[in-house]
Structure 1
Amino acid sequence: MPPKRPITLGDIIEVYCSKCRLNLDASVAAIIDGEVVKVMCRTCGNEVPNKPPVDPKLKKEKAMERLMKMRAKKSEGPKYVAPSPESPAVAVRKLWDDLTATADPRRAKVYDRHRTYAVNDVVLHKQFGMGVVHAKDQDDELNVLFRDGFQRIESNQPVDE
């Protein structure tokens, strides 16, 4: 076997290209004290520091470890705290469930701001869904109970022509 000749400028060696993030062939671009310092990647053409090739199995194992750590961190995440039974949100939701338990959505009135509604009318709103008219103000504003809570909506408005 012939003795190894020293590496010179322009020789092609295998390195890890930090730009391509792959093991690739590169041309030697700079040598200081017999050590290869910089190489030029033959794929992307960038001049990068000389780094020895990375073992693909080792790289894959490290990536899997990082992935598992991230997954464990996400699964541990903040614990869900259920709202207390006395909270206002739970009370409003219970009231909505009680009022809509017997309501037939097919008999509900589709909301139109030009119509008039009475208390306890079931209303279907495009944005808020099904609701029950809870109260009516002097200025024809309705206080309607939807699944997410109470909303004030207009009613009996004149038609603009």
Structure 2
Amino acid sequence: MDKYAKLTRPLNEQEIDFPIQNTSYEFIPIHEGIRYYEVGGFMRNNYLYKVIIYNWYGISDTPLLNIQLNSYDEQGKLLDAVLLDSQYSYEDVSCFIRFSVNKDLTINLKHYVTYYYDDEHEYGDEAGLIKDPKPEFYNGEQYKINNGKFKLIYSKMAKKFEWQQ
């Protein structure tokens, strides 16, 4: 085991089976064997909040880098989880989320997608390759933290993408 792997922890039973909030991703359930890094956290009103990062796989076995916020009660029981970021690249697209966890106990998520080919050409056709691709706003969400739970209070899809819902 290398020196960095020694800093990871395995997900426990309650973390493996727990539903993770975030409306923009079809999240493939996590199974045993996933290890994570705890990179931050805070206490508020007797609840512990941990920021963890880990790798997982999405649709078509696309590798993901996930950043997640978990909440725990005083006994260490997992109460809730929200996916703050899930970065990936797949053939003709890449995605990421800009997020903030604020002092007023709100969480802001802004989802972005970058396309590398235009809609008129198939993936791999160099005629459709976008010269200078830029991230486009896809979806925004806001959660409110209340008693260790993450409650979705706002979600807005960019007009360009509304037809997909």
Same fold (TM over 0.5): no
Greater radius of gyration (CA): 1
Task: Give the number of the structure whose residues are more often strand, by fraction.
Answer: 2
Q: Of the two structures, which has the highest relative contact order with CA contacts closer than 8 Å and spacing of 6 or more?
A: 2
Task: Give the number of the structure whose residues are more often helix, by fraction.
Answer: 1
TM-score band w.r.t. shorter chain:
under 0.3
* TM value normalised by structure 2: 0.21
* TM value normalised by structure 1: 0.22
